[in-house]
Amino acid sequence: MSFEDVSPREAHERLNGAGSEWIYIDVRSEVEFDAGHPVGAVNIPIFHLDPITQQMRPNPDFEKVVTEHFAKARPLILACQKGGRSARAAQILSGSGFEKLANMVGGFGGLYDESGQLVEEGWEAAGLPVTEDAPAGARYADLQSKD
């Protein structure tokens, strides 16, 4: 299993480079995605919030939905709130044969150590483009419903 770690600024550069084929997959929950995400992001949660227990539970369709919408040769940047869920997503997809994966360390909100010190600035704090809007096909409900 292999993937590389990138910072939010590196991810932004890759996404916006000339002729870029990189896709940003936000693996946070639908609620987190709707509250704000990078411009151009696609939401495929690796976990869902259970409405009864209020605990996160694995999304059994994560790998299937990614595979249905993206070729295994397509470069993917995986990101969550801090970088942990996206690292897990990268492991899963690497094991499924995806060839070019990057885990965005620091995620959308930033990564902090045990003492509360910032380790890696997040996408939002870096001042990178954020929106609450999403075009058709970018929200999980759209992607999940396609055959």
Residue 63 lies in a domain: yes
Of 35, 29, 2, the C-alpha closest to 133 is: 35
Residue 147 lies in a domain: no
Q: How do 42-43 and 23-26 pair as beta strands? A: parallel
pLDDT at 54: 87
CATH code for position 99: 3.40.250.10
Residue 108 lies in a domain: yes
Q: Domain residues for 91? A: 4-140
145 assigned to some structural domain? no
pTM above 0.75, yes or no: yes
The answer to whether position 52 is within a domain reads: yes
Q: What is the DSSP letter of 2?
A: -
| Whole-number pLDDT of residue 63 | 97
Nearest to 121 by CA among 40, 6, 35, 44: 6
pLDDT digit string (tens) for 22-71? 999 999 999 999 999 999 999 999 999 888 898 889 999 999 999 999 99
Q: Mean pLDDT across the stretch 74-99? A: 96
Please tell me the predicted confidence (pLDDT) of residue 146.
Answer: 58
The number of folded domains in the chain is: 1
Average pLDDT, the chain: 94
